[in-house]
Structure 1
């Protein structure tokens, strides 16, 4: 079955037992929904008990008749593979190919844009995004309700180049949403250009779209430099250009097949405290597993309209969960794999953005050495990885006989193929990520500012000249099914 939007993706999942659970039991989007999914399927850096489980569709949302909330669609690598028609272990390579072969978006008129079936304009009587859409909170300490899985589409005011990324969006009032930009985000660069001219930046917020479009949003420079449209990656992943339509109230485009589009403008020279309505001091749980601090001064999106499909689906995620690992981690893997393949064709066999790093901080790189020179080439691959993805903190190198997706196997290599005084490469004082609480001068006074860190390449590969000393015990490859019917890998 072809996937072209969120609803067709759900139809695909429904054909796979255990991948989608639908419930009509009433759910409160304020804390309760995330509390349920934390136990059922969040995984990754969420505090235990948690596990990987099905995506969940909540069809009875308290206070929002007709609206539905979907969580966890991409919260397993297996599901991502199903939705992109790709074996889970080959997603890295598929994404790298998509970067090499981008496919441009397709423009359609309003008659082909289901995202505009229902229209609510900000000048309508009683307009209030807080009652129109159920934006959830993850915890009782959240700064407010958030749209956690919303693609913000903006354009360079000078040349029209488009960028689309997922950002932290907190609903502040009936027609205002604050937006948090991590350092270096391209839409923030567009905002600054517009603000310097005293102009607002028109943006569309797109919620509930084809998973391929979501997955293309997390590539970053230098893989996707300023001016590179990430929607072209989503198109390449799907084999069909992403459909775009003109917004109704602003000079911007929206994803025509989205469940929900919020049209608005980032106002120049207007800032609000993220937790101005709650004063909790916290934003929401972020991918490292901690509550992010509320930002005291964030740009504001003034909402002009909300357009939706009939009975729209609000797609969300549990902040630190496995869904973030898929969204951020698989593109990160592909970026690292691509640069290593360009530099050393065939040397790097696999890359994996480990869940414990939230898809960003920890990468396992599997290499295959064929000479003593490759001892140095392996470490060069680690340095390349840190260079191609600035938020990456730790790299673990393993050999071709170690499964990078199996944490026990990786830890075994780290234990038996590593000596700390010769195999640990430390790079101090490198730009990292502001959401890691250890990357602060309070944690390490030697750091000049928040978001600066020491990085590490952990070389758990065997020295090539000692390869025979590190040969693993070889067992017979026997099919166990005659003795254990129903056995599966």
Structure 2
């Protein structure tokens, strides 16, 4: 297989070139596809995975070369919808991704600004003042299902700065195309730095300049998934991608607003978050629904959502719009791998050498559930596994369930985890309930209607499932031991080299 060293990944196009050269990682079609529900409907079968309605699967990234209504653009989906594929593009092994990002946070390299004439994202320029300007015709944003509030930009890297300190942040938000120069933007209350920036601007009655970069280096997309406390306000997540690539991310000044954007992105949308302005998310459809979100359900349309007034769109020649399906494995990669890194970092600082690995499970969309592989080496380690779980909740506030397993259980193998649940867990003594804790409002079970004990939507009972063997009983829970052999002698096509 070709390695990342053979193709130097620096943007979306070089990442796709790498995938083309690795069998099973990329396909494309010349069949005309409608971005309104059909495109996502196709990829649901091809490779969505995650919490998407079954049947689905983990499959290749897919390029749609002919998109109805957009003759000069292509749409790619599923670039990050496989842990193996993400590892390939970031130059590591799938089970090492959390460690890679943890190390990148510690070795962050700040972004740099390059001259506008060197920025490929501004090869083509369109301004809202142009008579024929229409965001709906310029950007082939898909509608994920027939029920959606409208076309959504699901893979837009939103970049904005604190109006007082000028510290910058990049995050991914739910963006709905509402009109020829209007986007709506969902900001989870109290959970995103850009929300804090906007609150400051709005109190002054000022708009907040914001750029939206679409189609970027996968290292940028994954690095943007970090949240506090790992990356507190003032920490620019683009510096994480810089560390992964050992080279700073290049930014460029926007044309119509006082803000920066990612210089080699496929598309840039420039605009302003308007103060004291809100709109219904489903204003054009009255569907009552937004779009499919990571828990696997279509979220309700927000009755009053933030508004971006678009001032310009720039893009590369023959641009590629990158999109994803909200509940897909792609969300697991973007949200889950930074979650793993955050937990690994916090627990390692508190109790070095005991937490061996973490998997932010696909069943929780990379946010709700984490499996922690913990090693007890001495009698006094008993109980520390539960302390590690508490630290995990602190490292990522939207985490709902933690499953603790021993060092002989593979946290990435759900069958192995469920085996531990069935043979090393007793519900009455190995379950820890932590009620009334803030989690994430998109979980439909986290409502007073579902549980009258909850005082507000978004509160939850967080749970620890301790599936580790008590230290004094470890010798009685030894798995059946098999002879160590070199399987390559007998099945060389399946095992091209000796199992390590």
**TM-score band, normalised by shorter chain:** over 0.9
Q: Distance in 1 between matches of 2:487 and 2:315?
A: 52
Deviation at 1:481, TM superposition (A): 3.8
Q: Normalised by the size of structure 1, how large is the TM-score?
A: 0.99
Does residue 69 (structure 1) correspond to residue 75 (structure 2)? The answer is: yes
In structure 2, the partner of 1:287 is 294
Would you say 1:445 and 2:445 are equivalent positions?
no
Q: Which residue does 1:47 correspond to in 2?
A: 53
Shift of 1:226: 1.0
* 1:485 Cα offset (Å): 4.3
Partner SS, residue 484 of structure 1: coil
User: Which SS does the other structure have where 1:363 is aligned?
Assistant: strand
Structure 2 partner of 1:411: 418
Asked if residue 338 in structure 1 is aligned to residue 345 in structure 2, the reply is yes
Task: Determine the structure 2 residue equivalent to 1:358.
Answer: 365
RMSD of the TM alignment (CA)?
0.8
- Aligned residue for 2:463, secondary structure, equals strand
Aligned to 2:142: 136
Q: What's 1:266 paired with?
A: 273
2:197 to 186, 190, 193: 190
Matched, 1:480 2:470: no
SS at 1:218 equivalent = coil
Within the alignment, does 1:400 sit opposite 2:407 as a pair? yes
| Counterpart Cα distance in 1 of 2:484 and 2:173 | 48
Deviation at 1:483, TM superposition (A): 3.6
Instruction: Report the alpha carbon displacement of residue 482 of structure 1 after superposing the two structures with TM.
Output: 3.9
1:315 aligned to 312, 318, 322, which one? 322
The answer to whether 1:373 aligns with 2:380 is: yes
SS at match of 2:382: helix
- What TM-score does the superposition give when structure 2 sets the normalisation length? 0.97
- Are 1:372 and 1:463, in contact at CA under 8 Å, matched by a contact in 2? no
2:311 and 2:460 mapped to 1: Cα distance? 40
**In the alignment, structure 1 residue 163 sits paired with structure 2 residue 169:** yes
CA distance in 2, matches of 1:104, 1:486: 44
Partner of 1:276: 283
Is 1:30 aligned with 2:36? yes
The Cα shift of 1:167 comes to 0.1
Structure 1 residue runs of 5 or longer lacking an equivalent are: none
Alignment of 1:98-137 (within 5 A): 98-137=104-143
Deviations 1:105-141 (A, max 9, x none): 0110012100000000000111000011111011000
Separation in 1 of the partners of 2:488 and 2:16? 33
For 1:420 and 1:288, the matched residues in 2 are separated by: 25
For the pair 1:208 / 2:215, whether they are aligned, the reply is yes
Render the CA deviation track for 1:138-158: whole Å, top value 9, x for unaligned. 100000000001110010000
Is the Cα contact below 8 Å between 1:96 and 1:338 reproduced in 2?
Answer: yes
For residue 238 of structure 1, report the CA deviation from its aligned partner. Answer: 1.4
Shift of 1:399: 0.5
- Residues 285-305 of structure 1 show CA distances to partners (whole Å, capped at 9, x for unaligned) of 000000000000011000000
Query: 1:245 aligned to 252, 270, 277, which one?
Result: 252
**Matched residue SS, 2:224:** helix
Q: Which moved more, 1:392-401 or 1:232-241?
A: 232-241
Distance 1:484 1:13 in 2: 27
Classify the secondary structure of the residue corresponding to 2:392: helix
1:222 aligns with 2:191: no
Structure 2 counterpart of 1:436: 443
1:359 positional shift: 0.2
Quote the Cα distance in structure 2 between the aligned partners of 1:61 and 1:318: 17
- What SS does structure 2 have at the residue aligned with 1:66? coil
What runs of 5+ residues in structure 2 fail to find an aligned partner?
1-6
Q: Distance in 2 between matches of 1:466 and 1:238?
A: 45
Instruction: Work out whether 1:79 is the aligned partner of 2:73.
Output: no
For 2:310, what is the secondary structure of its paired residue?
Answer: strand
1:299 corresponds to:
306
Give aligned pairs, total. Answer: 489
SS in 2 for 1:138: coil
**Is residue 240 of structure 2 the alignment partner of residue 236 of structure 1?**
no
State whether residues 365 and 397 of structure 1, in contact with CA within 8 Å, keep that contact through their aligned partners in structure 2. yes
Aligned counterpart, 1:256: 263
d(CA) in 2 for partners of 1:429 and 1:165?
27
User: What is the alpha-carbon distance in structure 2 between the residues aligned to residue 188 and residue 134 of structure 1?
Assistant: 26
SS at match of 1:235: helix
Cα offsets for 1:155-184 (capped at 9, x unmatched): 000010001000000000000000001122
Displacement, 1:479?
Answer: 2.6
Which whole-Å CA distance do the structure 2 matches of 1:293 and 1:231 have between them?
31
Matches of 1:258 and 1:321 in 2, distance apart? Answer: 23
Secondary structure of 1:18's partner? coil
Q: What is the match of residue 464 of structure 1?
A: 471
Corresponding position of 1:327: 334
Name the CA distance, whole Å, in 1 between partners of 2:463 and 2:106: 29
Equivalent residue of 2:269, what SS? strand
